[in-house]
Amino acid sequence: MRPKEVIFRIAKRVGAFALVRDSEWRRLRLLILCYHGVSLRDEHEWNGELYVTPAHLRERLRLLRDRGYTILPLDEACRMLREDRLPPRSVSITFDDATVDFERAALPILREFRAPTTLYLTSFYTEFRIPVFDTVLSYVLWKGRGSGAEVGALCGSPDPLPIATAADRERAHARLRCHAATYSLDALAKDALVARVAACVGVDYAEILSSEILQLMTPASVAALPHDLVNVQMHTHRHRAPRERVLFRRELTDNACRIIEMRGADSRLTHFCYPNGEYRGDLLRWLSEFGVEFATTCLPGIASTHDHPLLLPRFVDNCLQSPTTFEAWASGFAALLPKSRQYRIDDDLLRVGASG
């Protein structure tokens, strides 16, 4: 058991969670929850850092309801935070990427608990009925881990690339991605590469495609999401943040245009989520120029007026987070503990292009 888990359990037992949860200090803060995916089958077994089960999400929302937390739409909550009008125990929910499982697995649970959600949409793969390359490649390698196969020949590697262990798969994944980048493979060519990998390791790729796991929602599905429950916001078009201003602006413009096409001309796009949680000083300036008012990171924390509105922290919930840890963050107690350097804002990153 991790030391922090021990601290959390003791704190809960002696009533510290309740004390912080009901404090004025907590009322002045907003917990922003981050989710990536909700399993349709075995995705949580493949990657418990990205996927939770439907039961996991339901239990989290039940805890928030039973403990009297107020789940607010993120846009409303951010404005109330700025104006010191938050109700006690405020929480907002966000989902990144907009994969098919959001519609099929997450949305029914969000409806059940009437939990408003911000959905950050990365829009490029909505135009294709194929999975996102990086994630499906990792999934296929994991599915084929017991095959005894190696995939070196598929990317011109002079050495065998076995996939039996997690370290093996990480190495193979990196080499295959490098191969795709070296030959500038487009989305369809990348998908063909994944199909060859699947055949090599004994995985039924046609079945994966028909299941639609790891695919983004279709434009029609995004358009049909209930406006009173789901607010679709920006996450770049191609899930990347170029270092050139014109290219980054193109990412935002392409993303915004696709969202407006799906959600309507009256869409108010003032929120952004950094792809892979990667922020930089130049991005803050470019986001402001584009009219973005609030942006979220993947740095753990509970938002307050002390945070830069374009560097809001989130608690990334996943299968590795225990119920006690989740409650520690919901109450605010976890935010009182010291953070290691890797979980704090990196001033060096903020200096990147900050004056350019």
In whole angstroms, give the CA distance from residue 279 to residue 348.
Answer: 11
Q: Per-residue b/e over 317-326, b at no fewer than 16 CB within 10 Å?
A: bbbebeebbb
Which has the higher per-residue pLDDT, 352 or 187? 187
| Lowest mean pLDDT across 41-45, 179-183, 338-342 | 338-342
Q: What is the pLDDT of residue 3?
A: 87
Give the angle subtended at the CA of 126 by the CAs of 122 and 129, to the nearest 5°. 140
The yes-or-no verdict on residue 46 having pLDDT over 60 is yes
Q: What is the pLDDT of residue 339?
A: 83
* pTM score: 0.95
Could you give the C-alpha distances from 333 to 55, 307, 316, in angstroms and in order? 25, 18, 16
Average pLDDT over residues 295-300: 97
H or E segment to which residue 110 belongs = helix 107-112
Q: What is the pLDDT of residue 345?
A: 86
Give strand ranges (E) for the chain.
30-35, 37-38, 51-52, 70-71, 90-97, 117-121, 230-234, 271-273, 294-296, 315-316
Average pLDDT over residues 193-221: 97
The yes-or-no verdict on residue 252 having pLDDT over 60 is yes
Given a contact cutoff of 8 angstroms between Cβ atoms, the answer to whether 131 and 208 are in contact is yes
Sequence length of the chain is 356
DSSP summary character for residue 340 = P
Could you write out the DSSP letters of every residue in 32-69? EEEE-EE-SSSHHHH-TTTEE-HHHHHHHHHHHHHTT-
The yes-or-no verdict on residue 346 having pLDDT over 60 is yes
**196 confidence band (pLDDT: 50, 70, 90):** very high
How large a percentage of the chain has pLDDT more than 70? 99
For 29-38, how does the pLDDT look when each residue is reduced to its tens digit (9 = 90+)?
Answer: 999 999 999 9
End-to-end alpha carbon distance in the chain:
46
The yes-or-no verdict on residue 319 having pLDDT over 60 is yes
For 107-128, how does the pLDDT look when each residue is reduced to its tens digit (9 = 90+)?
Answer: 999 999 999 999 999 999 998 8
Q: What is the pLDDT of residue 343?
A: 81
| Lowest mean pLDDT across 12-21, 25-34, 177-186, 335-344 | 335-344
In whole angstroms, give the CA distance from residue 56 to residue 61.
Answer: 9
Q: What is the pLDDT of residue 294?
A: 98
Average pLDDT over residues 280-307: 97
Q: What is the pLDDT of residue 349?
A: 87
Average pLDDT over residues 292-317: 97
Average pLDDT over residues 273-280: 95
For 114-173, how does the pLDDT look when each residue is reduced to its tens digit (9 = 90+)?
Answer: 999 999 999 999 988 999 999 999 999 999 999 999 999 999 999 999 999 999 999 999
Q: What is the pLDDT of residue 2?
A: 84
In whole angstroms, give the CA distance from residue 111 to residue 299.
Answer: 28
Could you write out the DSSP letters of every residue in 122-146? --GGGGSSS--HHHHHHHHHHHTTT
Given a contact cutoff of 8 angstroms between Cβ atoms, the answer to whether 296 and 273 are in contact is yes
The yes-or-no verdict on residue 354 having pLDDT over 70 is no
Q: Residue 57: name the closest of 89, 31, 34, 90 by CA.
A: 34
Q: What is the pLDDT of residue 30?
A: 98
Q: What is the pLDDT of residue 336?
A: 96
Q: What is the pLDDT of residue 351?
A: 86
Average pLDDT over residues 281-306: 97
Which has the higher per-residue pLDDT, 96 or 340? 96
Q: What is the pLDDT of residue 356?
A: 56
SS3 at position 296: strand
Q: What is the pLDDT of residue 124?
A: 94
Given a contact cutoff of 8 angstroms between Cβ atoms, the answer to whether 225 and 262 are in contact is no
The yes-or-no verdict on residue 1 having pLDDT over 90 is no
Q: What sign has the CA pseudo-torsion 235, 237, 240, 243?
A: negative
Average pLDDT over residues 248-261: 98
Q: What is the pLDDT of residue 355?
A: 59
In this structure, the number of other CB atoms found within 10 A of the CB of residue 219 comes to 16
In whole angstroms, give the CA distance from residue 208 to residue 214.
Answer: 9
